[in-house]
Amino acid sequence: MTLGQKKGMMTAAASTSTSSTRTPKGEGSIADIFTSLTGEAHNVLPDRFAGLKKELWKDSLVESWREVLEALPEAVQEIEAKGSKIIPRVRYQDIQAGLSQDQVEAIKRVGTVIVTGGIPPEEALSWKQSIRDYAAANADRVTGFPPDNIQVFEIYNSLAQTRARTHPALITTQKFLLSLWHASSSHPQQQQQQQQVSLQTPISYFDRLRIRQPGDAQFALGPHTDGGSVERWEDEGLRRVFGRILAGGGTWRAHDPFDATPRIGARQDMYNSSNACSIFRAWQGWTSLSSTGPGEGTLRVLPMLSLATAYTVLRPFFRPRHSSSTSTSSLGSLKFEDWVPDLDTPTFPGSSIGKTQELNERTHPHLQLGKTMVSIPRVEPGDQVYWHCDVVHAVESRHGGLGDSSVFYIPAVPLTLHNASYLRDQRINFLAGLPPPDFPGGQGESKFVGRASADDVPLSGAARQLYGLEGFVPDEERGLSRDFVERVNKVLL
C-alpha cells in the first residue's frame, strides 16, 4: 500500500467518524465566562479553598512575594515609558528567513508579537466581505454578543474562516511561534510527556470572529488570562506549570513560561464551563480584517509575561494589612510591609468557579493596570497578532474609531494526544455544522446556507491535517515519532 493510499484511507475514516466524545455545552455567548461583560460579582469560593492555600503554603513564599513586589516598579516604569512601542513587530518575510536572537528574546519577554506582510490586505478584506454575506444569508439564525447588536459572532464554520486558518502564511507563522517553546526531560515523567507533543506541528482550534462597529462600548472585555482561574492552584498539572513560583524563595525567577512539558497533562477546565479552553493552546491570536489602531476597539496587553505571572500566582496568599491598602492613590499602600499572609480565607482575587481569571486595579493593585495595559499598535488587514497563553490581555472598553475593528480569532496550537482528541471532536462538529466542543452549543450553523465543508479545505497535507481530516505520518524532525503518530492517529481516527 502506498503512502497516498494510506492517507486516503485515513481521510475516509475521518469523514465517517460521527460520535463525539464530549457532551455539548449549553447555548450562550462569550459573556458566559467573563464577569467584566456581565457586571456580576465574582462568586464566593467554598471554604475548601482556604484549605488549598494552607496546603500550598510555604514560609519561603514571603520572600518570593517581597522580590516580586520589588521588581514590579521598574517593569511598570519601562512599560509606561515605551507604551505601545514595547510590542515587537516583525515582517513575515523575516520569519521565513529567520529572526535574530534579539528579536526572539523581545517576543518571549513581552509575550506578544505582531506579524505583518504574510497575507495580502485585499485577501483579508475579501474574507470579511464573505463573512458579511454569510451572516446576511443566515440573518435569522446568527447569534452573538451583545444579542441586540452583535459585535462578536457565534460563527465558526464559515468558508472565510476555513480559508484563513489554512492559509500558508498562518501555518508558517504558527510553526515559528511553536518553535519558541520546548519540551523538557529532567525526570522520567517529563521524558514520557516530552514524547506526547510535536511543537513543529500546528493544528486548528476553531474560535469566533469579531466585527466591532464604531461607538460600541458593550464588548468591554476587562484584563484577564484565559486557561482557567482557580484551576491554576487547584489542578496538580497546573501547579507543576507554575511549580517554581509556588516553591518559594528566589525560584520564581526560574519559571519558564515556554516549557511545554508540564502543560501537556494540565486541566484548565475542571468545571467544564462553556467558553473555557480545554486544550494546550500555546499562543492565542487573531488575524486582522481591518485597519485598527489604539482607541479603535483593539487588543490591550500587559507586556511583562514572567513577572506578571509570578505576581498573579502569588497574589491569593497575601492580603493588605488594612483594607485601605488596596488603594493605588498612595505608593505606600503597595509596599511589602503593608501586606500579610492570608491563609484563613478562601479568597482567590479575580477567580470564580467556571469563569476565567480576571484582574483589575483593586484585585491586583501592584500591577498598576491603568499604566501597564497597553493597546497594540495599528494593524492592517492581513496582519497577525499573537500573545502567549499566560499574557494578561483585554479589549479596549470603547471603539472610538471611524471604521469597523474586525478579526478572526486564530491561535497557534501544537499537536498532543489530548489536543488530537479535541481535534477529532472539533472535526465531527465541523462536518455537522455545529459549534466546536469548548464553545456554546445548540444548532450552531448546522442549518446555515453556504457554510464550509470538508471539500473546502485545501488538498495539501498540512491543511487537511490541521483540520483533522487526514492522519499524520512519522517525521522525526518534526517530533513525530512512529509511536507518537500511531497513538495520535488512533485517537484522531
Residue 168 CA from chain centroid, whole number: 21
| Predicted confidence (pLDDT) per residue in 461-486, tens digit | 899 999 999 999 999 988 899 999 99
Mean pLDDT, range 143-168, rounded to an integer: 97
pLDDT score of 186 more than 70: no
Residue 15 pLDDT more than 80? no
State yes or no: pLDDT of 1 exceeds 90: no
CATH code of domain 35-319+334-492:
2.60.120.330
Instruction: Identify the pLDDT of residue 43.
Output: 76
pLDDT of residue 325: 45
Residue 11 has pLDDT above 90, yes or no: no
**Which of 69-78, 326-335, 372-381 bottoms out in mean pLDDT, i.e. has the lowest?**
326-335
Tell me the mean pLDDT in the region 114-143: 98
Give one DSSP letter per residue of 209-222, joined into a string: EEEEPTT--S----
Cα-based torsion angle of the residue sequence 158, 225, 56, 197 in order, rounded to the nearest 10 degrees = 40
pLDDT tens digits for range 302-352? 999 999 999 999 999 999 988 654 444 443 479 999 999 999 999 999 999
User: What integer pLDDT is reported at residue 16 of this predicted model?
Assistant: 45
Residue 35's pLDDT band (cuts 50, 70, 90): confident
pLDDT at 5: 40
Percent of the chain with pLDDT over 70: 92
In sequence order, which residues have a C-beta less than 8 Å from that of residue 169 and are 6 or more positions away? 92, 118, 119, 384
Cα gap 151→144, rounded to integer Å? 7
- Whether 168 has a pLDDT exceeding 70, the answer reads yes
**Nearest partner of 119 among 143, 145, 92, 138, judged by Cα:** 92
Q: Report the relative pairing of strands 112-116 and 89-91 from DSSP bridges.
A: parallel
Question: Per residue in 409-444, pLDDT tens?
Answer: 999 999 999 999 999 999 999 999 999 999 999 999
Q: Please check the confidence at residue 68 and state whether its pLDDT lies above 70.
A: yes
Give per-residue burial for 158-168: e unless 16+ CB within 10 Å, then b: bbbbbbbbbbe
Predicted model pTM: 0.94
At 245-284, the pLDDT tens digits run 999 998 999 999 999 999 998 999 999 899 999 999 999 9
